[in-house]
Structures are given as structure tokens and as C-alpha cells.
Structure 1
């Protein structure tokens, strides 16, 4: 392999299996489920080894663009952030990465990686990718298969075929998620879990896409050619991209190509697919209990307790998960945690907003948390990161009162510019044009009290916005 692998991280998905922590507005790949960094950040760190990998590409959507940027900046790693204007499944995303890689190097080797995985042995992961890159340079599409540790029914499997040399084997078949009996047999027969990570020669992938799904390649190539820069992002052309066929890369290419190979990954892998997996990966306390936050267990073992705020007390129960957020609580046996997705579908059908949205909302300038909501009032806690600037805006139905509790706010109110310090406040009457900025070096925290006949977020008339949301 003469060139470095161009790593591509897919992080546009919105997983529900880790609800209520993971929701559409902030999915699991951006949440620090284990220790301080998110799985997205941990994956990016692994792919920053300059001896094997080149400059990374992150494929996401407009909703998560500032979260991606913030998390990259927090760990000091740069990447090309590509925004899909609409979700067209993974084949279009892979085709996009292929086009971008070929624009860099007509002999490019590309690696596609999930943002929501956990790897135990980072050095061995990097070495496995290097090994797969050598095989990919021979015109192969190489998937990384994981030797199973149990007869899991939640993963697809790979049946390895003939030996190809360089530690790779031909893929004899991709197999859908099995039942328990088949999964046990697959372990005996030497099948591998399909990790969803794969490394390929870009020219080979493009040729296979053209052969199997020509309705993807041309629209994506046009979307890349017409892409525009928007702040720190590359925005694909929406009209072109929308015409690409919506299909997964597994169905489009991987299950049809004769060029698929598999390399076994012995580096310890999990897709963190549910709360049972989180317990497996967590540090355990007495009696096998894993506790994050204010949690206590009496006469119980092998439990997972996670609480954002409330004190959680468990008595006389084993093998359960209790997940408490600010606005929702999940209680389930770990063995039934795969039903969480069904529960989310149920509460979504009932119209419960907590199914997909958090009370704390992320914004490019920071975040806000709704503390109290009444018929004619709402109280929010707003945090503005250093250098953050809210849009210049006005409201037709509400007035606002801002109290600074930490930091310094620079407030525009009509024609005035006012500096508001800690323990000071400012009143913004209905209809006034206003904006807030944090000129300081520490996060700015304010308490906002809204009063009016209508308090919805759609009563924001943006006049000017440095994040181009107006």
C-alpha cells in the first residue's frame, strides 16, 4: 500500500436503542456513554494515526454539523465535514466518499467506519486497518469481521471462504441476523460478526457501484461537483443528491460483488447496540453493579444505573438497567433491552415529544435547557460558549428578562450595546431587536425568563445570523 487510507466516518444516524439518553436531537455517537469522550471522538482519535491514515472525512447532515465541529475542536483534530442535504442511506454516502477520495488521489484507498463503535485495543485496530489496506490495494473491498464472543442475534455474520493471503479470506457469504440456534452454529462454523467497517480501493468501489447501481454514481458525482462551501462545511448539491437511489451499501455492493474479502479483527469491538452492551463495557463496582451518577444498589447485582440528576435507589433486583434523564426514566431487565426500540416507537405513536427530543437543546453558539414551562411563562438556563453569538432576532409574542449568573454578556437591544456582568440583568420588551454574545474566555450562563401569550421556538424572527440559519 503506497498511499495512506483516507478514513471516512459516518455519523448521520439517529439511534433509538439507547433511549432515553440517545434521541434524534442528540444520538448516541455524540454522547459520552463511557468515560469522558463520545464514541465519535474516540473513533476519530483512532483514525488520526498519521502513519496509516490521511486527513479524515466526516459524513453527516445539517442537523448535526455544529455538534460534529464542536466535538472535533474539543479533541484538537481537524476533518473535512461533508453535509448530506437529505438522507439517502449508506450507498450514497459511500459513493460521496469515493468521489472525494478520487479527487484527492486516483489511487486512493478509503476506509469507511461507524461513529458509534468502541474498540478496546486501538493499536491492534490500526494495524488491522493497515493490513486491510494492503489487501484493498489489490483491487479488493475488504470488510473487517469480528470473531464472535457469544452467539449474538443482533449482528449480521460473514462466512469466510478461501485464503487470499496477507491475512485475508474471500467472503463466501454475508448472512442476516440469525436466531439463537443458528447463531450458536455460526460460532462453531467459524463465522465472523459483520462490524460494518470496510476498506477499499476507491476506483474498484466506483466501478462496482456503476455496475450494480448506476442510479447512485451519476447523481452523487454531480452533487459533489456542484458542492459549495458553507462556513466549515462542504454542502452537497441538494437537487442532484436527492435523485440518488436510496439503498444501503450492503445491498448495493457488498452482497453482490465478487471482490469482497474479510480480515479478522481481534481488537475487542462493540457497536454499543443497547444498554446490556453499555453494562458490559462499563467499570463495575461491588457485586458487578455499574453506576454512573447518583445511584445506589442494596441487595442487588449486575445492574446498570445511570442518572443525570435524580437519585436512583434499587433494592433487591439483579440484572436490570435503570436509565434516568431529566425528563424520562427507563427501567428494563438487561435481557429485554433490545425492546427499547419498540418502546420508542410506542411512545412516538402516542405523541410524546420525549421520544425524539431532549429538554436540553444544542445550538451552534452553545445550548439551552428549559427549566420551567407554564401557560404564559418559560424559564431557561442558557449557556453560550466563548465567542458564541446568538442571532439578531425579535419576537412578536413574548418579552424576555436575562439574568447573568456567570461570565459577561454583550447585549444588543435595538440601537444600544450593553455589557451585562454577573448578578446583573436586562429586560427585552416584545418586538425589540436583540442579540447576545459572549466576548469572554469562559462560558456565559444566564437565566432567561420569558413572558407572553405564545412561547414556541418558531416565534423567532432571525434578522442576521453568523451561523447562516436566517
Structure 2
């Protein structure tokens, strides 16, 4: 019986998929190609590897503090409890992230096969994916490091490549890894037939990974272990020691270990993957995966198009009309609109860089912001006022808090609100309202069984989200 522990690396910001993907709600949590997010699809896909002789345990999720509640909520939506949610105090790339998961895996004296995948990829052919993964798992039990190489369909310049030694076997030896090529080199790779895209998915026993890292990068191994030994546990979350983890060198799995294996005594094998894989790295890749009409248009939302060819439109909140355009990407959200020529999809990251330089919120957050208790949508704003629509999940509550610079008016439009205001508590139902004076300690909670929705009108001299002092909080933010 083979024990398999999936490891989902759930970092990254997906800047080239702005404005839908933002640092506060990155692409792995978006529903880009169906009704499930990329993260949810990855989790279900890995659990589907269970078969006779293979036991798949709940996945380890490696993410960060900012996205911890997003990850848990999306797993809850698909009725999945993680084996652990490991929170990186600061981003240190994929090698330390995987090392944390491997240390967690061997903690109880076990040595499972780790099936490691990023959270932000798509696979069209699940049966082919399962077959390739089972082959990889088999070889990993024999102490090999196994990487998945995607059979290339075009001369792609955005991926690294694996050069394999082609032989009559389901797995191939790896001759070397090569960096992202220019177009002429990519065409040469495609013609030669023994080059594969590096998808960042691989399979390895936990002990083999730790041993390889100690061999090639003992500095990362030692520093990550020190941070792990200083960890703390908070409900479902495991937090490595923050100060110790800050000292961990930042490095990718490929540079730290994988690229060194072919030139060492560490056995590394490659399993070809031909399963309709995509990392959805930019909007043109999303367009490639979507169903299209007879003119090559892929439209989602309220879209009217006349005489258009090869366009992709994502309309989130309003009607988008197109007339006589080709090869165009249009992404509409309540607070930002992107229009780009398909061939320039990679350059969307330059818009994000400009937003960062100008310190604009559109880089970080959507107008609708998700919180562990629900969400809020900033629907209007002007001088000295802001209007929000707020939804609170059944049984959830915001922190006990106060504001120095604003007062708040609350109107219940759905459900029941339990409100703390100073030393008073009251229950409000639909069409009832209350006033929270500036500086008053207060709390909003939903004691009911349906979502609570309120309209909040803020007024004051400063209305930023950082004007908040939390006294108690159910989510560890006080």
C-alpha cells in the first residue's frame, strides 16, 4: 500500500491576469474555466488519485497569512479538510515551501510519497493525468525524484524545458533542464521531439526530498528546519517561526534541487504528461482553454459582439459591447477594465507594476473584498463618506472594534443582526437600522441561519481600512 500526501503550493499573485487576479485575491482562487476555482480543482484532482494500492491522504496546503482564510473557505465549499495549512511568514519561493511540507509529512515517523503541484493550473484530461501520476508514484516509491514533463503543443517561450533521453519506457531519464528559450530555439525544441515543458509538478518521497536538499542546498535545509522547530499551531494553521523563516534563503525547487540531479548521484526520471495542461499564465492562455463560438470568440457575462473574431471578454458587472474587432482581450470588473491585444497578454504585468509604483488599491484588492466572516463591497464613495454592502455568514461575527475617525450607520436589508454598541446589545431585522458613534466600541454578528446583509454608511474625516482597533477577534487578528 502506497501512502500519498498531496502538497498544493498556493502562493503567487498572478499579475498577468489583472484585473481579475490581484495580490489580495490571486488567480488560484478564481473560477476561470468553470464553476470551481483553480485551487479547488487542483485539490479534487489530487484526491482523485486514490486507487487500489494507493491511499491519498488530505492535502497539505502551503500558503501565506493573507490568503489563509480564502484557502480554508474554498476547501470548505468542496467539503474537504486539509491535512495541514502551513503558513509562510514571508514568501521564500517553492523550495522552502516544499521543505516545510516534507518536514510535516515525516513528523509522525512516516515517509509518504509527496505529489506536489502548484494551485493555479488546469488539466483537461483527468484520466491521462491520473495515469501519468500513478506511473510517477510507482517510480517515487523506488526512491527516484520524478518530474512531470508536458508534451509541448507549440513553440512556447514562456516555459522552461526538460531535455529527456527518449527510450522505450513509460518514464525517461532527464538529460538537463533549460531556461525559457527565444522563439527560434523553442521551434527547434519542438522539432527535435525530446523537449518537454516543465510544469512544476513532481513526485518524491518526503525523505528523498529532504536528503536531496541537504546534499545540494544545506543552507536552505538547515534554516527551514530551524523555522519548523519554532512553529506554533493555531487551529488548522501551522506557523513556522517568523524570525527564523525570514533567514531562509529564497530559491525555487528547480534551482535548489531538480536542475542539479542529472549531474549527480540522485536518480531523476520524467513522466510525459499529455493531458491538456495549462498554467493559465496570461489572458491569451485563458482564451485558449475556453469554449468558443464559430468565430473564435470566448465570452463570459453580459456581452454583445458584432462582427468580431478571436476575442475574449469577461464581463463581471455590466454590459460590454464589441464591434468589428479581432484578437482582443477585454476584462471588466466593477473598478477596473483591461483592454489588450492578445499577443501582448504577457505585458499586462507592466500595468500592475505601474499600480504598485503609484500605490493604488487596484493592485491589491477588488471593490468586493472577502473576509473570513463574509465580504464587503464598497459601492460608493465621496468626500467624507463611503457606502458599503456587507454580508456576514451565519454564525460569524466581525471583531470587537472601534474607529478614531469615522461614525457608521447600519441598515439591515436581509437576515438578523446582533449588534454590540458600547455596553448595549440589540437585535435588528430587515428594514431596521442603528448608529455607531465615532470612537464607540462595537461589533456586528450574525446569530441566524441565513446570510446577514447590511448597508453601511461611513462618515468622517478619514475612511481608510486601517482606521481600526480590534479588541477581540475570532480569527486571530486582534
TM interval, shorter chain, is: over 0.9
Once residues 351 and 322 of structure 2 are traced to their aligned partners in structure 1, the CA distance between those partners, rounded to angstroms, is 22
Q: Match for residue 174 of structure 1?
A: 177
Are 2:329 and 1:326 equivalent residues in the alignment? no
Note the alpha carbon deviations across 1:165-203, whole angstroms, 9 max, x for none. 5x1111111111111111111111121111100001222
Q: Helix, strand or coil for the counterpart of 2:346?
A: helix
Are 2:69 and 1:70 equivalent residues in the alignment? no
Aligned pair partner of 1:358 in 363, 366, 391:
366
Q: Match for residue 347 of structure 1?
A: 355
Once residues 457 and 448 of structure 1 are traced to their aligned partners in structure 2, the CA distance between those partners, rounded to angstroms, is 14
Aligned pair partner of 1:237 in 238, 241, 246:
241
Q: Match for residue 446 of structure 2?
A: 438
* Alpha carbons 1:3, 1:109 under 8 Å: kept: yes
Q: Match for residue 407 of structure 1?
A: 415
Normalising by structure 1, what TM-score? Answer: 0.97
Gaps of 5+ in 1: none
* Alpha carbons 1:92, 1:216 under 8 Å: kept: yes
Note the alpha carbon deviations across 1:24-60, whole angstroms, 9 max, x for none. 0100000111221100000000111333422210000
Are 2:143 and 1:135 equivalent residues in the alignment? no
Aligned pair partner of 1:197 in 187, 190, 201:
201
Q: Helix, strand or coil for the counterpart of 1:145?
A: strand
* Alpha carbons 2:86, 2:101 under 8 Å: kept: no
Q: Helix, strand or coil for the counterpart of 2:359?
A: coil
Q: Match for residue 248 of structure 1?
A: 252
* Alpha carbons 1:82, 1:234 under 8 Å: kept: yes
Are 2:11 and 1:26 equivalent residues in the alignment? no
Normalising by structure 2, what TM-score? Answer: 0.95
Once residues 251 and 150 of structure 2 are traced to their aligned partners in structure 1, the CA distance between those partners, rounded to angstroms, is 24
Q: Match for residue 312 of structure 2?
A: 304
Once residues 300 and 377 of structure 1 are traced to their aligned partners in structure 2, the CA distance between those partners, rounded to angstroms, is 42
Deviation at 1:321, TM superposition (A): 0.6
Deviation at 1:350, TM superposition (A): 3.3
CA 361–103 in structure 1, closer or farther in 2 if over 3 Å, else same: same
Once residues 220 and 73 of structure 2 are traced to their aligned partners in structure 1, the CA distance between those partners, rounded to angstroms, is 31
**Superposition pairs for residues 69-218 of structure 1, below 5 Å?**
69-79=72-82, 80-161=84-165, 163=167, 165=169, 167-190=170-193, 191-218=195-222
Once residues 37 and 162 of structure 1 are traced to their aligned partners in structure 2, the CA distance between those partners, rounded to angstroms, is 37
* Alpha carbons 2:416, 2:429 under 8 Å: kept: yes
Aligned pair partner of 1:467 in 472, 475, 478:
475
Once residues 468 and 29 of structure 2 are traced to their aligned partners in structure 1, the CA distance between those partners, rounded to angstroms, is 27
Once residues 356 and 203 of structure 1 are traced to their aligned partners in structure 2, the CA distance between those partners, rounded to angstroms, is 38
Note the alpha carbon deviations across 1:131-179, whole angstroms, 9 max, x for none. 10111122211110011111111111111026495x1111111111111
Once residues 466 and 352 of structure 1 are traced to their aligned partners in structure 2, the CA distance between those partners, rounded to angstroms, is 30
Q: Match for residue 257 of structure 1?
A: 261
How many residues were matched structurally?
Answer: 468
Deviation at 1:105, TM superposition (A): 4.6
Q: CA RMSD in A?
A: 1.4
Are 2:12 and 1:4 equivalent residues in the alignment? no
Higher mean displacement: 215-224 or 321-330:
215-224
Deviation at 1:205, TM superposition (A): 1.3
Note the alpha carbon deviations across 1:376-428, whole angstroms, 9 max, x for none. 11111111111211000111211100011111111111122111101111111
Note the alpha carbon deviations across 1:93-128, whole angstroms, 9 max, x for none. 111111112224543211110100001112321221
* Alpha carbons 1:106, 1:203 under 8 Å: kept: no
Aligned pair partner of 1:59 in 62, 82, 89:
62
CA 365–326 in structure 1, closer or farther in 2 if over 3 Å, else same: same
Q: Helix, strand or coil for the counterpart of 2:142?
A: coil
* Alpha carbons 1:400, 1:449 under 8 Å: kept: yes
Note the alpha carbon deviations across 1:424-467, whole angstroms, 9 max, x for none. 11111112111011112221111000111111112111111011
* Alpha carbons 1:164, 1:170 under 8 Å: kept: no
Are 2:12 and 1:13 equivalent residues in the alignment? yes
Deviation at 1:239, TM superposition (A): 2.0
